[in-house]
């Protein structure tokens, strides 16, 4: 089980809309601040360099629709698995799709905080 400081930060992040059921998104480390520091995310090996491959499915798109060639980011599904483990979630994720897994993890995290 995580320490009380981590659990408090997860509660605050959840209330702030940071713990979200997005299993596809790549977010800058700043998205998770101030609840989770860039150093903490690096230590957990959640910050990675993601590269577009030029295909529609394998490219990273900016909000304006332009292709981003490369970015350092946190894959939100990995973030959710990390948070779930740290708050003591032991339930097995039954969903197959990334979005469904993310939604399921958000529910398990909420239950663990209750």
**Three-state SS sequence of 96-112:** CCHHHHHHHHHHHHHHH
Provide the domain limits for residue 11: 4-113
What's the predicted TM-score (pTM) here? 0.91
Comparing 114 with 47, the larger pLDDT belongs to: 47
pLDDT digits (tens, 9 = 90+) for 80-99: 999 999 999 998 899 999 99
Number of domains observed in the structure of the chain: 1
pLDDT digits (tens, 9 = 90+) for 67-79: 999 999 999 999 9
Asked whether the beta carbons of 87 and 6 are under 8 A apart, the reply is yes
Kind of pairing between the strands at 47-51 and 70-75: antiparallel
């Amino acid at each position: 089980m995580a320490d009380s400081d981590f659990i408090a930060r997860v509660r605050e992040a959840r209330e702030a809309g940071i713990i979200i059921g997005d299993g596809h998104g790549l977010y800058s480390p700043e998205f998770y601040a101030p609840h989770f520091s860039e150093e903490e995310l690096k230590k957990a090996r959640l910050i990675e360099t993601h590269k577009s491959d030029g295909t529609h499915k394998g490219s990273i798109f900016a909000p304006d629709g332009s292709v981003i060639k490369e970015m350092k980011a946190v894959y939100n599904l990995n973030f959710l698995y990390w948070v779930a483990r740290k708050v003591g979630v032991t339930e097995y994720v039954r969903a197959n799709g990334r979005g469904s897994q993310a939604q399921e993890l958000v529910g398990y995290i909420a239950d663990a905080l209750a």
